[in-house]
Structure 1
Amino acid sequence: MLDERLIAVHCHGATPEERARIADRGARVIGCPSSIAAIDGIVGPITEFLEEGTTVGLGTDQAPGSGGHEMLRELRTASLLSKTDRGDPTSLPAWKALDLGTVGGARALGLADRVGTIEVGKRANLAVFPLDTPSVASAVGEPLHTAVPNLVYGGARAETVLVDGQPVFLDGKFTALDGRAILEEANERARALFGRASEDWRKAGSKLVSDVEAGWL
């Protein structure tokens, strides 16, 4: 099972020997730093896997709460947790985090020949971020290069997204979807699902139930 076909998620319990074996066998790893930090209170070994030469990408573990689907937030979380965990401000710099969120993810999914970088022959999957917003400005090129760090750490929001060259999000609005209607339906479905499952969930008596009752979640 442990070969280049495996995409392993989290792997935060892997020992150094196991991480080396994963790298040696060519398996790929996806880290979900926000989710694991919030749920387990630990820093996932993203940096350690990178040091082993493992192909690493970043993901999110769930839609709501600590998972979210904000990729720039995951880049920021991964970078800051690595720095804090190691006591080293040079650990997992912003440019490397951005690499993980773009071509790193493409490599991890085996799609690097089609997406992940901007070059001739690849699909034009692009996200455009404004640099003149309060969270990103000011972006300068000399003597410091602040555009990438400000983008990764500042909490920017994409204003335009192209998938295969076609705009799906243009000037802050979806082109073919009703975003508000989708959110309303998602909330309705969630409430209905939780309502149906609530009694059985409480009967399970797991630690999660007691933690929720205590106000932790």
Structure 2
Amino acid sequence: MSIGPRDPQVCDVLIEAGWVVPVVPRGVVLADHAVAVRDGAVIGIHPIAEARELYLPAEHVKRPDAALIPGLINAHTHNPMTLMRGVADDLPLMTWLNDHIWPIEGRIIGTDMVADGVTLAIAEMLRGGTTTCNENYFFPDVQAQVYKRHGFRAVVGLPVIDFPTAWAKDDDEYFDKARQVHDQWLGDPLIGTAFAPHAPYTVKDSSFERMAMLAEQLDIPVHCHVHETQGEVDDAMSATGLRPLARLDRLGVVSERLIAVHMTAVNDADIALCADKGVSVVHCPESNLKLASGFCPVARLQEAGINIAIGTDGAASNNDLDMFGEMRTAALLAKAVAGDATALQAGDALYAATMGGALAMGLAERVGSIECGKRADLVCVDLGALETQPIYHVLSQLVYSTGRQHVTDVWIDGVAKLRSRVLVDMDLDAIVANARSWGARISNA
């Protein structure tokens, strides 16, 4: 994994770690290694002694008790909803959505709410080692501006839904605005776009057909809640005689572009269809557990060769953006659902939370692993804490013992975003005060 020549060369940062976990190849752990970064990209991965001879770094970071991993990728979230964290807990999905979340959104949604919610989410994600997210919410133009301002990598969803919202009044406006946002950010190194239809039960056939055609033309994913509950599937069967995924397939949506979120209520035919068409599935275990939505059969999907990613969902239903917690829950839940203690092993969970998300979002050539030529989205995780001792297997320790509180340093494109647990260029006190102000406003709305 070394590069030449052997003459010392300048780099922007050299990060030494007790362990480097590149994720690709899967399961590999490199003890006492260093990663060299220049112009935002990884240019070398070497044993520490060799790296010190090869590079003259502008910044030299030494973390002998840490594991250096790729930045975590939250493959499904609604980040403006951080401002609704805990507003309607312990309720079933449709009651939570129809009687609480949508009415609250109707009263508060707007550009300020979206900007402030995304800012709060960015700070939370960075402190937890997440460097990329797959966003699904309204006002994607505002979201993109905020992510870009903070140097955070994001794919913003271009919403499509059958009823008027603060973002758009009808089908044509949803699609016109989607094209405008896509064109505005086309080619940006940090911001991408994806179509984000809410769900099969809130989007009509003609919109899905139009979306499938445009997604192909624009070369972007389609990010959609699919088979989130058994009730959704039962209602679809009663109304159309088709399971939602089968309907989407008939409309041309099921392909390698589809990012199917949740997928708790699936049968053998659904799994075979996803495997055949190259669909990626985003597993959101904690949100599904909290809303009693069901259990995604991750082991069966893996056995079929389906790409698995991990997402937190929104903070209104989780109630956090903690990808370390999500990895652990995903691994434990997969074993219980499969009745197999070997299901979704630690290395698989970490892969899903990094490369799995990158593959789903069309970013695998840029992020998701620590490889020469890829962007330097990197995270140091302190394994020197009491709670992580002793260390036998680093991958297991990362998934089963560590938490987001052990993240010490984060880089995106080689730029420091968290340094020694302190956010860089973000005013934590102001963000907290603003969140509290929104909490008072929402409580009194």
Contact 1:132 1:138 in 2 (8 A): no
Aligned to 2:437: 188
Kindly report the root-mean-square deviation, in angstroms, between the aligned alpha carbons of the 2 structures: 1.6
- State the shift of 1:46 in Å: 2.2
Offset of residue 97 of structure 1: 0.5
Residue aligning to 1:167: 416
**Where does residue 88 of structure 1 map in the other structure?**
340
What is the identity percentage for the equivalent residue pairs of Structure 1 and Structure 2?
Answer: 35
1:154 alignment counterpart: 401
Larger of the two Rg values belongs to structure: 2
SS at match of 2:385: coil
The ranges of structure 1 where at least 4 consecutive aligned residues each deviate by more than 6 angstroms after the TM superposition are none
CA distance in 1, matches of 2:316, 2:408: 22
Task: Give the alignment's TM-score, normalised by structure 2.
Answer: 0.41
Aligned residue for 1:130?
382
Q: Which amino acid aligns with 2:429?
A: R
Normalising by structure 1, report the TM-score. Answer: 0.82
Q: Which sections of structure 1, spanning at least 5 residues, go unmatched? A: 141-145, 197-217
Residue 30 of structure 1: how far off its partner (Å): 0.7
SS of the residue corresponding to residue 124 of structure 1 reads coil
Look up the equivalent residue of 1:151 and give its one-letter code: L
Distance 1:3 1:46 in 2: 19
- Structure number with the higher strand fraction is 2
Q: Which residue of 2 aligns with 1:32?
A: 284
In structure 1, what is the equivalent of residue 303 of structure 2?
51
**Comparing both chains, which one has the higher relative contact order based on Cα–Cα distances under 8 Å and sequence gaps of 6 or more?**
2
User: Matches of 1:190 and 1:90 in 2, distance apart?
Assistant: 43
Whole-Å separation in 1 of the counterparts to 2:272 and 2:443: 41
CA distance in 2 between counterparts of 1:189 and 1:174 reads 22
Q: CA deviation at 1:120?
A: 1.2
CA distance in 1, matches of 2:402, 2:318: 16
Between the aligned partners of 1:45 and 1:55, the Cα distance in structure 2 is 13
Pairwise CA distance, 1:85:
2.0
State the Cα distance separating 1:41 from its structure 2 match. 5.8
Q: Which moved more, 1:124-133 or 1:6-15?
A: 6-15
In 2, Cα distance between the equivalents of 1:57 and 1:67?
A: 19
8 Å contact kept, 2:291–2:317: no
CA–CA separation in structure 1 for the residues paired with 2:436 and 2:267: 40
Task: Name the SS of the counterpart of 1:129 in structure 2.
Answer: strand
Deviates more, 1:64-73 or 1:52-61: 64-73
In structure 2, the CA distance between the partners of 1:189 and 1:5, relative to structure 1 (3 Å rule), is same
Q: Secondary structure at the match of 2:344?
A: coil
> Is the CA contact (8 Å cut-off) linking 1:131 and 1:138 kept in structure 2?
no
Asked whether the 8 Å contact 2:297–2:338 carries over to 1, the reply is no
Compute the displacement of 1:135 (Å): 2.3
User: Where does residue 209 of structure 1 map in the other structure?
Assistant: none
User: What is the deviation of 1:45?
Assistant: 2.1
User: Per the alignment, in what secondary structure is the counterpart of residue 43 of structure 1?
Assistant: coil
User: Could you say if the C-alpha distance between residues 8 and 70 of structure 1 is closer, same or farther in structure 2, counting changes exceeding 3 Å?
Assistant: same
User: How many correspondences in the alignment?
Assistant: 191
Structure 2 CA distance for aligned equivalents of residues 135 and 180 of structure 1: 28
Conserved? CA contact 1:36–1:42, under 8 Å = yes
